[in-house]
């Protein structure tokens, strides 16, 4: 029986616009200002440094690491520059309000705490626990260890958690390996028809499947 419902954050509850702006526009712009380079040249350098690290390493997600690397300051100011680019998906608030009355809700994300705190201002009240894999545990959600730690902290068995997210490995394959009832969020209809009971097009469909106990 499901006791806890776990949500990924970016791509699941909020879209990627804010993060894309911060990483691919804001940081290069600050670096250009600091160095006197033209924006496009600064962006080329910054993106090249991102790729040298790669998303398998926790530094990829750590904005303080990148600010230190590029000699930048004022993360809060950068975030506030793009505060109007935080877009919560339309069904999210109704879904969270409904599910919070029936289950304990948690947030499990690769995003660093700085991003989580900024992106969840309007919905934070619904979550009893918020976990950043990279900030709290220094690993990514590709590691089954992350989900095992969550189960230990919450004192539940894996099958008592239902998880939803938009990354096939991080949010679907890995949690399923340890017994979590994981669902894949496919907002753009790109997923295979396999595991049809565990693939949903939006969070409203996810709610329906949980309540009906549909899981494969």
> What's the first-to-final CA gap in the chain, in angstroms?
15
Query: pLDDT tens for residues 114-153?
Result: 999 999 999 999 999 999 999 999 999 999 999 999 999 9
Sketch the domain layout of the chain as residue ranges. Answer: 4-16+87-212, 17-84
Average pLDDT over the chain, rounded to an integer: 94
Please give the pLDDT value at position 1. 87
Beta strands in 11-147 (DSSP E): 104-109, 129-132
Mean pLDDT of 157-168: 96
Residue 177 clears pLDDT 90, i.e. is over it: yes
The CA angle 161-7-131, to the nearest 5 degrees, is 90
Helix (H) or strand (E) holding 184: strand 181-185
Collapsing DSSP to helix, strand or coil, 118 comes out as helix
**CA–CA gap between residue 205 and residue 31 (Å, rounded):** 43
Query: pLDDT tens for residues 69-106?
Result: 999 999 999 999 999 999 999 999 999 999 999 999 99
Q: Residues with Cβ < 8 Å from 127, sequence gap 6 or more?
A: 7, 105, 106, 107, 120
Please give the pLDDT value at position 194. 56
Residue 198: pLDDT band with limits 50, 70, 90: confident
Taking the domain 4-16+87-212, which CATH number applies?
A: 3.40.50.1000
Task: Work out the widest C-alpha separation in the chain, in whole angstroms.
Answer: 59
Long-range contacts of 80-84 (CB under 8 A, 24+ apart): 81/26, 82/18, 82/21, 82/22, 82/26, 83/118
């Amino acid at each position: 029986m499901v006791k806890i419902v776990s949500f990924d954050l970016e791509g699941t509850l909020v879209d990627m616009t804010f993060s894309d702006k911060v990483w691919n526009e804001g940081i290069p712009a600050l670096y250009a200002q600091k160095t006197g380079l033209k924006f496009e040249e600064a962006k080329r350098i910054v993106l090249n440094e991102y790729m040298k690290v790669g998303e398998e390493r926790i530094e990829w997600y750590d904005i303080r690491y990148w600010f230190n690397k590029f000699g930048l300051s004022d993360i809060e100011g950068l975030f506030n520059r793009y505060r109007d680019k935080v877009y919560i998906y339309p069904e999210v608030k109704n879904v969270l309000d409904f599910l919070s009355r029936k289950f304990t809700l948690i947030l499990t994300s690769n995003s660093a705490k700085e991003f989580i705190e900024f992106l969840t201002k309007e919905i934070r009240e619904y979550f009893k626990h918020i976990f950043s894999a990279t900030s709290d545990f220094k690993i990514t959600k590709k590691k089954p260890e992350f989900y095992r730690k969550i189960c230990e902290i919450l004192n539940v068995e894996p099958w008592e958690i239902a998880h939803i997210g938009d990354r096939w490995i991080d949010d679907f394959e890995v949690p399923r390996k340890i017994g979590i009832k994981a669902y894949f969020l496919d907002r753009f209809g790109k997923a295979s028809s396999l595991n049809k009971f565990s693939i949903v097009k939006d969070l409203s469909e996810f709610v329906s499947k949980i309540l009906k106990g549909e899981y494969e």
